[in-house]
Structure 1
Amino acid sequence: MKLAAFSVGADHHIGVVQNEGEIISLSALSRSEFPPCIKTFIERSEERLLRAQHLIEQEENTHARFKLSDVKILAPIPSPEKIICVGLNYIDHCKETGMEPPASPVIFSKYANAITGHNEAVKIPVNSNEVDFEAELAVVIGKEAKCVTEEEAMDFVFGYTIMNDISARDQQFADGQWSRGKTADTFAPTGPFVVTQDEVGDPHNLNISLMLNGRIMQDSNTHNLIFTVPKIISYLSQSMTLKPGDLIATGTPPGVGMGRNPKLWLKKGDRMDITIEKIGTLTNYVID
């Protein structure tokens, strides 16, 4: 199931995306059962997935159907409890940054102020001149997870989305730690959809790419991840309790701006399109 948060005028909805470029609003079919919050849906996903499927199969009312082109897609989870990111998780990306592949996952965090949605602007901070792009597969946690094994880990995955791990490289490396350079306002574009685990299948065999102004910058496959999704979830859960709606960005493949010669930094007017197989395309624009 491919879920989206969206608005039509002042009305907010969650819905299921159809192959024909349509979206069926679950909120319009039953707002009491499906308030416009994907995080709430995830928290009760076992019952709501079945109910949503039943409503869609029975749906005959055109008032719940919208063309995707006629709605505004919103960030699917605008206020997750945690946004956890994994750095240096593709070998070729390690090489382009001049860093050794890590022996264990390199973890840092973003905050909810960084979240923005599909077709929304990424804002270059006034105090940075070296802002970079990073296409990433993001895991959406479905159930509370604490001290889970790698063998159990996939049972705690609800689905997947796309994240652009925007990074102010000058701040990231000047500070000696990554927080300020990674979590400026709008530095975590996510979306456009959350796709359930069963529809995605193997998360370690998905093509992932980023185009900048129509030119391919990053082009890889998630089978090149150093640390797998189960390894990351198990590793994190030994230290922290993962909650429904938490986002885990799994790292970026090679091709980022700082790895190029000459280096390539984002500027006003740039357009970024990240495509991940079976999930969709996340588009964002750059402004000052």
Structure 2
Amino acid sequence: MKLVSFATSQIPEPHLGIVRDNEVLDVDLAGRALQLDVPDQMLDLIESYERYQPALQVILSRAGSRRFSEVQAFSEVGAAHALSEVRLAAPIPRPRKNIFCLAVNYSEHAKETGNLREHQGQEPEIPVFFTKAPTSVNGPYGEIEIDPQVSSEIDWEVELGVIIGKKGKNISESDALSYVFGYTVINDVTARDLQKQHKQFFKGKSLDGSAPMGPWIITADEISDPHNLELRLRVNGETKQEGNTGSMIFNINQALAVLSRGMTLEPGDILATGTPSGVGFSRTPPQFLAPGDLMEAEVEGIGVLRNPIVQVGS
């Protein structure tokens, strides 16, 4: 299932939708038309997916029905929208917690940053975690703002995002994927100068809007192997990053097992799994984003983020 948070001119606040072909089904309005108990927000769905999943399947099946009466019911309540006519927000517009992120989780990325970081190109022996603030979340097509008074070194990092679906602590590697609700695309946009100045990741990773996410969540049952997905990032059409999730140093199972040791993971928690090589600051000479650029981050089987770069401030 392909799930979105979207807004329309009639309902300007992001709410839950299902993508079917080239249209978005408003879960709340469709549920009312069919007299079904359904949620209106993504986090509510994730927290009680087993409860709501049958109703979502009914909505999908009725939307695909050729019976005029059922199609008309959706039309009368405004439950179906062309995908091109809605505004997609991040699938989880405001996470309840910081986004968990894996640092240096691809070998080639470790090598390319070796002379710029303390790890000196060596692969970590255990997963290295940092977080991004909830206010960093941005939509799949939202603008990335550059304020020269804050940072002049804004960089890109395409990543596979993992959405936790159920509460868990001390999760075993063998059971880890059963805790995954679904997958999304994340771009870990980073202010490299702030990252260097503060000598840790949080500030440079948490500028407002620096975590574009989406365009949707693909439920885990539709991704047969999350460890064999191509990742790409383009700036103005030029490929900057290209890799495969099979090259992660610590796979999703290992990362979730370590992350959950003594720490409870909850439905709606988000893990960004690291980025392949090709980031801007490690290039010779370094490359950074500039106003007018268009950044596209893509994960195979999920979708593409398209974020224009704009300047604010003076």
After TM superposition, the score normalised by the length of structure 2 is 0.88
Which of 223, 242, 247 in structure 2 is aligned with 1:224?
247
For residue 30 of structure 2, what is the aligned residue in structure 1? 29
Give the deviation of 1:261 after TM superposition.
1.2
CA distance in 2: counterparts of 1:77 and 1:15, whole angstroms: 12
Of residues 161, 164, 188, the one that matches 2:211 is 188
SS of 1:254's equivalent in the other structure is coil
Structure number with larger C-alpha Rg: 2
Q: How does 1:84-233 map to 2 (within 5 A)?
A: 84-98=100-114, 99-125=121-147, 126-233=149-256
The answer for unaligned runs of 5 or more in structure 2 is 64-70, 115-120
Give aligned pairs, total.
287
Aligned to 1:14: 16
Separation (CA, whole Å) in 1 of partners of 2:278 and 2:263? 32
Give the aligned partner of residue 83 of structure 2: 68
Contact 1:5–1:36, Cα closer than 8 Å, also in 2: no
Distance in 1, matches of 2:104 and 2:262, equals 20
Q: Secondary structure at the match of 1:56?
A: helix
- TM-score normalized by structure 1? 0.96
Residue 42 of structure 2 corresponds to residue 38 of structure 1 = yes
2:92 to 77, 81, 87: 77
What SS does structure 2 have at the residue aligned with 1:211?
strand
Matched position secondary structure for 1:232:
helix
**Secondary structure of residue in 2 paired with 1:30:** helix
Runs of 4+ in 1 over 6 A off after TM superposition: none
Conservation of the 8 A alpha-carbon contact between 1:13 and 1:28? no
Identical aligned residues as a percent: 40
What is the distance in 2 between the residues matched to 1:2 and 1:156?
Answer: 18
In 1, Cα distance between equivalents of 2:307 and 2:294? 6
CA–CA distance in structure 1, aligned partners of residues 17 and 194 of structure 2: 38
TM superposition shift of 1:25: 1.7
Instruction: Please report the RMSD computed on the Cα atoms of aligned residues, expressed in angstroms.
Output: 1.3
Asked if the contact 1:14–1:34 (Cα under 8 Å) also holds between the matched residues in 2, the reply is: no
Distance in structure 2 (CA, Å) of the matches to 1:258 and 1:33: 49
Residue 252 of structure 1, CA deviation: 0.3
- Whether the 8 Å CA contact 1:192–1:281 is kept in 2: the answer is yes
Query: Which of these residues, 260, 264, 270, is aligned with residue 241 of structure 1?
Result: 264
Is 1:258 aligned to 2:281, yes or no? yes
Structure 1: unaligned runs, 5 residues or longer: none
Rounded to whole Å, the distance in 2 between the matches of 1:69 and 1:233 is: 36
Distance in 2 of aligned mates of 1:270 and 1:159: 30
